[in-house]
Amino acid sequence: MSADDPAQVRLLRDVLNACRRVDAPWEHAETEATVGRELRYSWDGEPGRWFLAGSAEDPDGYAAIFTSDYDNLELAWLLLGILPERRRAGRGRAALASALDACRSLGRPLVGCNGWESEATRAFAAATGFELKSQEILRRLFPRELEPGLLDAFVAEATPYAADYELLRFTGAVPEEMLEPIAVLTESINDAPTDDLEIEDEKFPAERIRAYEQAQTAGGWVLRRLVARHRATGALAGHTVAAVDRERPTVGDQHDTAVARDHRGHRLGLLLKAEMLRWLAAEEPQLETIDTWNAESNGPMVAVNERLGHRVMGRELAFQRRL
């Protein structure tokens, strides 16, 4: 599929939204613009290969294949959806078979896929040879519903433990002199649990950080990054990144939050997250929702998010198989 074909973009938008209304009605609806930017840029400039399942004029659903050239070079990750009224007729198996053939041609023998938790999801995965490897939770914060003074209280709670650190704010791309330290810091995300997934640590060279910033900005997101820096040594200790959608300015997304191993135990996670929300409240008062994802087993970050008031919206199951 091509982002330069408006008819295809609209078809994919309609299929995605039809599936979501049944499988995950809490998800934000896609627009022509949001689908187009996903096709062009995706997360960090490595867009997936998207296909309409069945007829291109009257599709049964969609499939997408995501790969990276930075790491995990034998892994492909799939998205698959069939229109609710066309399920249980073999169309999902047919779309999956085509996607797996594409993974073989790409030289990616390790395949993963996600699905919202349901008996149907579990049954389809089992019937097609996929094993459950991990569970993630989507939580959503409603900033306007936060109790007045709550964020100030969290900042005041964390500040004495983090007195040796200062917070730096960056909107959009980080300055050139910060790029390499940010790249190193970003690799701290590899300490987050991956449960039973067969997956290598992700690599974050400086060029990938720039590609991520450029892809997000070109896609219409405004990035804000808050960084904790150790006052005595200048070492970057932790960061959190949030994005606001200019296409849908009431919608925000939480991206990475990580604290470097040598700087844990100073409540930097709580401080960074609470201070980011204060920053967003000042700069983006129109925000209505901020979504965040965590492995269900990531106890420390889940605890912070729950203290901040994030609500569980849905559980997504992650499966893998080898071809």
What string of pLDDT tens digits covers the 323 residues of the chain? 888 999 999 999 999 999 999 999 999 999 999 999 999 999 999 999 999 998 888 999 999 999 999 999 999 999 999 999 999 999 999 999 999 999 999 999 999 999 999 999 999 999 999 999 999 999 999 999 999 999 999 999 999 999 999 999 999 999 999 999 999 999 999 999 999 999 999 999 999 999 999 999 999 999 999 999 999 999 999 999 999 999 999 999 999 999 999 999 999 999 999 999 999 999 999 999 999 999 999 998 899 999 999 999 999 999 999 99
- The answer as to whether 117 is a domain residue is no
Q: How many domains does the chain have?
A: 2
Looking at residue 57, its pLDDT comes to 84
Q: Can you tell me whether residue 86 is helix, strand or coil?
A: helix
In tens, the pLDDT along 12-59 reads 999 999 999 999 999 999 999 999 999 999 999 999 999 999 888 899
Give residue 103's domain range. Answer: 6-108
In tens, the pLDDT along 265-311 reads 999 999 999 999 999 999 999 999 999 999 999 998 899 999 999 99
CATH code where residue 275 lies: 3.40.630.30
Asked whether residue 103 falls in the same domain as residue 201, the answer is no
- The answer as to whether 127 is a domain residue is no
Tokens of 209: 């950080």
Asked whether residue 219 falls in the same domain as residue 307, the answer is yes
Residue 178 CA from chain centroid, whole number: 23
Residue type, 203: K
Q: Is 64 left (phi over 0), alpha (psi -120 to 50) or beta?
A: beta
What integer best gives the mean pLDDT of the chain? 96
- The answer as to whether 76 is a domain residue is yes
Asked whether residue 178 falls in the same domain as residue 76, the answer is no
Burial class (CB in 10 A: 0-12, 13-18, 19+), 165: buried
108, 131, 165 — which closes off a domain?
108
Give pairs for 120-128: CB < 8 Å, separation 24+. 120/87, 121/317, 122/317, 124/92, 125/317, 125/319, 128/93, 128/96, 128/321
- Kindly report the number of other CB atoms within 10 A of residue 230's CB atom: 18
85, 108, 131 — which closes off a domain?
108
Residues 6+ apart with CB under 8 A from 195: 133, 134, 135, 295, 297, 318
Tokens of 302: 């889940």
Looking at residue 56, its pLDDT comes to 81
Looking at residue 138, its pLDDT comes to 97
What is the distance between the alpha carbons of residues 291 and 139, in angstroms, rounded to a whole number?
A: 6
User: In what helix (H) or strand (E) does residue 132 lie, and over which residues does it extend?
Assistant: strand 131-141
Asked whether residue 18 falls in the same domain as residue 149, the answer is no
- The answer as to whether 71 is a domain residue is yes
Asked whether residue 161 falls in the same domain as residue 267, the answer is yes
108, 132, 157 — which closes off a domain?
108
Asked whether residue 96 falls in the same domain as residue 175, the answer is no
Looking at residue 54, its pLDDT comes to 87
